[in-house]
Structure 1
Amino acid sequence: MAEVTLTVCTTCRAGAPTDDTGPRAGALLFDALNAENLPENVQLRPVECLSACSRGCSMVLSGGPERWTYVYGDLNATEHVEDIVKGAAAYAATQDGIVPWRERPVIFRKQSVARIPPQETSHD
């Protein structure tokens, strides 16, 4: 299986006012995912901004130049961590990043912000 990266925006406020004394919603999501037992080939990576502020908390699921990349939004640490882990595992098990629709967690079906085509495509 190829290496997969799950990138989480840690500066996301998810529509909440900025609180200088506590962690932001995106950092809480990252910490919750970091505490999970992620599949061996899924790497978790923090990033300071994904420019999807109106859809926060947001994350990206990517896996190399021959896979589709997905941006997801409207996520949170209290409801979505288990589904994110399941979705990342399903994505990692594919060759091209396309998980059959019915096999995707509901949040991956309903909360997709963007689907980005592979950088490399095979021409037959």
Structure 2
Amino acid sequence: MTVTLTLCETCGYDAAEPEAERPGERFVREVQRQLCASDALSVQRTRCLMVCQRHCAGVLRAPGKITYVLGGFSPEPEAAAALLDYAREYQRSETGQVPFRSWPAGIKGKFIARIPVLEN
């Protein structure tokens, strides 16, 4: 089953430097750089997730699984690695729930919302 990770590429807008590269763009690029060909993970971009207070944000979802909104990452390799490690655990889970003991350290404190599976 393919897991979709949708990341905000416009996160971290700075009015003082409107033309500067945004942290969200750097984070998306770092996640994509670390993505393995063997990952059953689709990374998509979006212009805004409306979680501006917790920029460098993403949505992790798959059919029949709980959806998670995460944010507050730094656009650094360690943060991208933690998110991808969590996404792989999520992919292996039948329901999308990952036991706390399996969470990478860099994912703790990054959850914004947990959205139940939508019933058809």
Which consecutive aligned stretches of 4+ in structure 1 deviate over 2 angstroms post-superposition? Answer: 16-22, 37-40, 106-109
| Other structure's SS at 2:26 match | helix
Shift of residue 76 of structure 1? 1.6
Shift of residue 12 of structure 1? 0.5
- Unaligned 5+ residue runs, structure 1? none
User: Which amino acid in 1 is paired with 2:88?
Assistant: A
For residues 70 and 29 of structure 1, what CA distance do their matches in structure 2 show?
18
User: Which amino acid in 1 is paired with 2:26?
Assistant: L
Residues 56-81 of structure 1 deviation map (CA, whole Å, 9 limit, x = unaligned): 121111111x1000011111221401
Structure-1-length-normalised TM-score? 0.86
Name the structure 2 match of 1:24.
22
Q: State the identity %.
A: 28
Shift of residue 30 of structure 1? 0.3
- Mapped contact 2:39–2:88 kept (Cα < 8 A): no
- Mapped contact 1:18–1:24 kept (Cα < 8 A): no
Shift of residue 110 of structure 1? 1.4
Question: Number of aligned pairs?
Answer: 118
- Unaligned 5+ residue runs, structure 2? none
Shift of residue 51 of structure 1? 0.5
Do the aligned partners of residues 31 and 99 (structure 1) sit closer, same or farther apart at CA in structure 2, a change above 3 Å counting? same
| Other structure's SS at 2:31 match | helix
Structure-2-length-normalised TM-score? 0.88
Name the structure 1 match of 2:9.
10
Do the aligned partners of residues 32 and 18 (structure 1) sit closer, same or farther apart at CA in structure 2, a change above 3 Å counting? farther
Shift of residue 104 of structure 1? 1.2
Residues 78-111 of structure 1 deviation map (CA, whole Å, 9 limit, x = unaligned): 1401111101110111111000111112343311
Name the structure 2 match of 1:73.
71
Name the structure 2 match of 1:87.
86
